Structure 1
Amino acid sequence: MSRPSTVTGLLLAAGAGRRMGGPKALVELHGEPLVRRALRVLADGGCAPLVVVLGAAADDVAAALPAGVHTVRAPDWGSGMGASLRAGLAALDGDAALVHLVDLPGVTAEAVARLVAAPVGPTALRRAAYDGRPAHPVLLGRTHWDAVAASATGDAGARAYLGGNPDVELVECGDVADPDDVDTPEALARFTGQRDNR
């Protein structure tokens, strides 16, 4: 009997959050740091194990993590998201990784579950879409990791590899999640207000 495929939840949380005024991983939404919220979404969506890439304020972010979460430090995190993605992928085992960003509080466990619902193997390549527009999170099977890492530069992450790739399967999530990032205090306030008014 073959073993079931595993999908590691890979959370990129290394940024300094200059426009936010501090690392977004530590920004609280309804009393919960964004890093913990994002990890809860990954776990509730079916990802295990969970791995967080650290950079800015690494010790403080690590102290905010729940038990059982693995950490990876990206020494060159200051050069952009690409460095975090490379460091994270290099540290992983398993068949596939669900890559999530710490500043996307509108991404839900339901969206993650849709990406991992179909059989997941090392060749899987899926991306959440919102009204047909591709965004995050992204599911990367192991066979894609080297090529994604090679193309990940600056703040582009996996964008260069995914853009126009005919193998990418888009999974519509617009009815269960919101892809907008929260980069500034104003954006966070808007997000909080939208949720509180629903």
Structure 2
Amino acid sequence: MSKIPILILAAGASSRMRGADKLMQTIDGEALIHRTARIARDTGQPVLVALPPAPHPRHEAIADLDIRRIDVPNAAEGMNASLRAGLARLPEDAEAVMILLADLPEITTADLRKVADAFRPDSDTLIWRGATDNGKPGHPVLFSRSLFGDIARLTGDSGAQSVVSAHKDRVALIPLPGLHALRDLDTPEDWAAWRAGNSPES
């Protein structure tokens, strides 16, 4: 497998949780941020986690894992502050980077490996993206090294969507099971519905 570090974006404020931290919500007794970091680590790839500045409970929640924690002092700017901070700390020999949101409760190590295994450094494709079986794009999103500069110039809270849009004809969708690529839990209602076995809107 090519060397593809996984950058987990976990510096957001959980503003829609009305005072709770969605990444500290538990699944089978495990904090969501720990679950996300653990399944990323289990791919065997380097893992970097963009976090609010320490001290913060999210740091403590993943302290037992052999991963790199990155403080994002300007996290309030939005997601792109985390992207820039993470890219600046990638291993020099990284051929690509996998961007993984921290709030995907159904994503698995096998899913991450499937997206990573689709990467071909000599391909015309520049972006590989997890998707549903019917082709709805989601996460994670893997970017070829040739796009690192474009991502590093992003500002605000748009994520790398503008980079994806600029290269939409060079994106490969990788189908993942069920709603693994889409399911996120942003509100207390989402969490309650998901735990009850329902399907919150994503």
Same topology, TM > 0.5: yes
**Which of 31, 34, 41 is 1:33 aligned to?**
31
Q: Does the residue aligned with 1:112 lie in a helix, a strand or coil?
A: helix
Structure-2 change in CA distance of 1:58 and 1:98 (3 Å): farther
- Unaligned 5+ residue runs, structure 2? none
Deviations 1:42-68 (A, max 9, x none): 233x25111100116653211111331
Question: 2:127·2:142 contact (CA, 8 Å) conserved in 1?
Answer: yes
The residue that corresponds to 1:52 in the other structure is 49
- Unaligned 5+ residue runs, structure 1? none
Percentage of identical aligned residues: 34
Matched, 1:146 2:126: no
The residue that corresponds to 2:189 in the other structure is 186
Structure-2 change in CA distance of 1:186 and 1:57 (3 Å): farther
Q: Kindly tell me the number of residue pairs found equivalent between the two proteins.
A: 190
C-alpha displacement of 1:103: 1.1
Q: Does the residue aligned with 1:19 lie in a helix, a strand or coil?
A: helix
The residue that corresponds to 1:159 in the other structure is 161
The residue that corresponds to 1:16 in the other structure is 13
Using the size of structure 1 for normalisation, the TM-score is: 0.85
Using the size of structure 2 for normalisation, the TM-score is: 0.84
Q: Does the residue aligned with 1:194 lie in a helix, a strand or coil?
A: coil
Structure-2 change in CA distance of 1:56 and 1:33 (3 Å): farther
Question: 1:98·1:140 contact (CA, 8 Å) conserved in 2?
Answer: yes
Amino acid at match of 1:193: A
